[in-house]
Amino acid sequence: MVDEKENEMVVTPWEVRGRVDYERLIREFGTQPLTEELRQRIARYTGRLHLQLRRKLFFSHRDLDVILDLYEKGIKFVLYTGRGPSGTVHIGHLVPWIFTKHLQDKFKTRLYFQMTDDEKFVVEDELKLEETKNFAYENALDLIALGFEPENTSIIFDVKDIALLYDIALEVAKRITYSTARATFGFQDSTNIGWIFWPAIQAVPCFLHAKLTGENVPALIPAAIDQDPYWRVTRDIALKLGYYKPAQIHCRFLPGLGKGGKMSASEPETSIFTMDPPEVVKQKIWNAFTGGRATVEEQRKLGGDPNICTIFQYFAYLFEEDDKKLAERERQCRAGEILCGKCKTELTERINKFLAEHQKKREKARNIIEKFYIKR
């Protein structure tokens, strides 16, 4: 029997469950779809659209059009994104970071990156503060390994940098009522009060640039759509504080290697971590859920289904830059001309090549991480 509850869609900043219906999220969250027209506007600045836009991994936004209007008038924006350091980084986490780097390169903007060691400590029952602080440090190495540069990238480690954030956090917190926060985040009587104050801290980097430089500019936040509730409350109070409303560009979740669901660190078998050695990657990919048939004969005759195939999605979202080659892979799969084993082998090779490089850069990042620490 199918358990209805298990299939029910739940998307909150703390939980993503069930089959995610992105159209429905746009309606329920009240965001805007990323239209072809807007994509073309972006392309004016970026040249050929980034793979993640071409393939609609980024699919929704708030005020991206406003950001571009302002940019055309000479008002730059800053980029803001972040990470809740509750464990090691998997390749699903890299997706919006890679896109952020692309935007940063093309628009020549500063990035503020928030490592929320405080959030993960108050929200996750089992984690100690020392652990989330340590993950924050280790996760920052993964970020730096993607090629960000210290000249235009500032990493905020919340616990270490709280003195820098606190005055703005207070201004924000004073203007959000408990009833709004409860309705937005679903707080219960049993929710600890650290968690209840927390959204004020996630709002701060939207406004921090003005404090640091005296330039009041808007922030654009590339992130998965589960973070949207934070921006709803932040947008409500931004103008009252004399700032621009932060704009967003939202991405989908990278699926895990299992059937359905996003890649999640709590399911290590279906997630590829950036520190996984080659044999482990090979094994995980080998066990992945595909759109293949039960037998070779059937697959030759009926073809596979790339739509439901996790392997195909990894090619589409990360590991096949060439649109023609991707389309050809899709055609061959549907026609029964290639079998899952071949796709798995090829994907394993690409991921392992990428990870070998990434792991080297990640180790080197230890020597330069301090240059990324935010300065007052």
Which residues of this chain interact with ligand TRP, rule CB under 6 A? 13, 80-84, 114, 116, 119, 202, 221, 223, 227
Dihedral of alpha carbons 268, 270, 273, 276, sign: positive
Closest CA to 101 of 44, 52, 67: 52
Minimum CB separation of residue 224 from ligand TRP in Å reads: 7
> Please, how many CA atoms are within 13 Å of residue 375, restricted to the half-sphere of its CB?
8
Residue 110: partners with Cβ closer than 8 Å, 6 or more residues away: 78, 79, 104, 152, 153, 154, 209
Minimum CB separation of residue 14 from ligand TRP in Å reads: 8
Q: Which is nearer to ligand TRP, 84 or 336 (CB)?
A: 84
Alpha-carbon distance of 312 to 317, in angstroms, equals: 9
- The amino acid sitting at 187 is F
Q: Is 252 left (phi over 0), alpha (psi -120 to 50) or beta?
A: beta
Closest residue to ligand TRP using C-beta atoms: 84
Alpha-carbon distance of 92 to 41, in angstroms, equals: 27
Minimum CB separation of residue 84 from ligand TRP in Å reads: 2
Q: Which is nearer to ligand TRP, 170 or 302 (CB)?
A: 170
Q: Which is nearer to ligand TRP, 82 or 218 (CB)?
A: 82
> Please, how many CA atoms are within 13 Å of residue 67, restricted to the half-sphere of its CB?
24
Q: Which is nearer to ligand TRP, 185 or 319 (CB)?
A: 185
Minimum CB separation of residue 201 from ligand TRP in Å reads: 8
Minimum CB separation of residue 103 from ligand TRP in Å reads: 13
Minimum CB separation of residue 300 from ligand TRP in Å reads: 43
Minimum CB separation of residue 372 from ligand TRP in Å reads: 16
Minimum CB separation of residue 317 from ligand TRP in Å reads: 18
Q: Which is nearer to ligand TRP, 10 or 327 (CB)?
A: 10
Q: Which is nearer to ligand TRP, 102 or 300 (CB)?
A: 102
Q: Which is nearer to ligand TRP, 95 or 326 (CB)?
A: 95
Helix pair angle (228-238, 193-203), 10° resolution: 70
Minimum CB separation of residue 222 from ligand TRP in Å reads: 8
How far from the centroid of its chain's Cα atoms is residue 265's Cα? 14
